[in-house]
Amino acid sequence: MTQALPQGRLYESQKLALWYFWVALALFGAQVLFGLLAAWQYLDPNFLHGKLNFMTNRMLHINAMVVWLLLGFMGGVYWFLPLELGREVVGIRLARFAFFTLIAAVGIVVLVYLLVQYGPGNAFTLWFITEGREYIEAPRWQT
């Protein structure tokens, strides 16, 4: 027989789900911001010319949507699964590690989009060029 938590207490997986929801909310804000910037650049091509490329804005706008939806769904699973099971999810420490790994990977990819997409290719940028691939394009990792 399963035992429910006292009223007002959360399972550890539900606390992790809140982290997912907060990051998803922040990414939704980033999606809106980059979408507005891209819309403004579409209407006035000289806006942020040479500082932030329209295609980078558009790419970040679309990718932010894909990632915040993914994080929201993952958070939903961590929120509802212990309620359905009536007990804590197994491997919550591994789930936290996966969360922080995913957030670090997304952060690195966004920084690469914003900082490394300009200039000539060299041995350093070989690792960070996306080659125009869209929809969660990550830097290529090859030797």
Look up residue 44 and give its DSSP letter: -
The confidence band for 56, taking pLDDT boundaries of 50, 70 and 90, is confident
pLDDT attached to residue 142: 44
Percent of the chain topping pLDDT 70: 76
pLDDT attached to residue 141: 47
**Residues sharing a CB contact under 8 Å with residue 134, sequence separation 6 or more, in sequence order:** 59, 62
| Long-range pairs, 44-52, Cβ under 8 A, ≥24 | 52/114
For residue range 84-126, list pLDDT tens digits in order: 988 998 999 999 999 999 999 889 888 877 776 655 666 665 5
pLDDT attached to residue 128: 57
Q: Exposed/middle/buried for 139, CB within 10 Å: 0-12, 13-18, 19+?
A: middle
- Ranges 32-36, 58-62, 111-115: which has the least confidence: 111-115
Q: pTM here?
A: 0.79
- Segments making up each domain of the chain, as ranges: 12-127
Percent of the chain topping pLDDT 90: 51
The confidence band for 143, taking pLDDT boundaries of 50, 70 and 90, is very low
How many CB atoms within 10 Å of residue 31? 20
